[in-house]
Amino acid sequence: MPETGNRANEVAAAQASSSIGRASVSKTEGWGFETLLACQSIAVDGFGMNTKAEAGPGTLDTIKLAAAVLAALGGFVGYYWFVDESVLLRVLGLFAGLALGVVIAFQSAQGKQAWEFIKGSQVEIRKVVWPSKQETLNTTLVVLVFTIVLAGFFFLVDFALLNFTQFVTGQGG
């Protein structure tokens, strides 16, 4: 592909609109959004492809996660290794190993993503409109009544089928 030397002209030419001379049909135009143009492509590497790939977890992150697993595993092994010690010390050692493993895991890229997800979840939980005590009580009562009615219905159906089967086969009392 020949280089023209002016990337701005190439990008502008690639963003041509197919609706020249027609009225806009975009619902977002005029509301602070850019309209979508036909055949948008941004030439990055000369072939029209963006070759920048997302970097995955690095070796250091893998080492951090392995250390976190080993710390948690160390807590479990210590709990069973020191059988002669008091239960309180063994449980404290177990929790210390687990806590150390969690702290180490949150230092990795995946741990940081998990922490951001947890914080985002907390924000979303605050937005939830929780039912009142009366609504919860009413809903619980409706579910209980409906369950009792269905239990009675299935009991009657089962009883009728049992009697019908005994009548047809001639077995039973």
Q: What is the DSSP string of 20-63?
A: TTS----SSTTTT-PPP-TT----SSSSS---PPPP---HHHHH
> Is the separation of the CB atoms in 110 and 65 below 8 Å?
yes
Please state, in angstroms and rounded to a whole number, the distance separating the CA atoms of residues 11 and 8: 5
Helix (H) or strand (E) holding 140: helix 133-169
**pLDDT score, position 39:** 56
**pLDDT score, position 97:** 95
**77's tokens:** 């092994």
> Is the separation of the CB atoms in 41 and 48 below 8 Å?
yes
Residue type, 46: G
Please state, in angstroms and rounded to a whole number, the distance separating the CA atoms of residues 127 and 155: 43
The one-digit pLDDT tens for each residue of the chain (173 residues) are 455 555 555 555 444 445 555 555 556 566 665 655 555 555 555 555 555 555 667 889 899 999 999 999 999 999 999 999 999 999 999 999 999 999 999 999 999 999 999 999 999 999 999 999 999 999 999 999 999 999 999 999 999 999 999 999 988 75
**113's tokens:** 């993503």
> Is the separation of the CB atoms in 1 and 47 below 8 Å?
yes
**pLDDT score, position 35:** 57
Task: Report the predicted TM-score, pTM, of the whole model to 2 decimal places.
Answer: 0.45
**pLDDT score, position 170:** 86
Count of alpha carbons within 13 angstroms of residue 57, beta-carbon side? 16
Tell me the domain boundaries of the chain. Answer: 1-48, 59-127
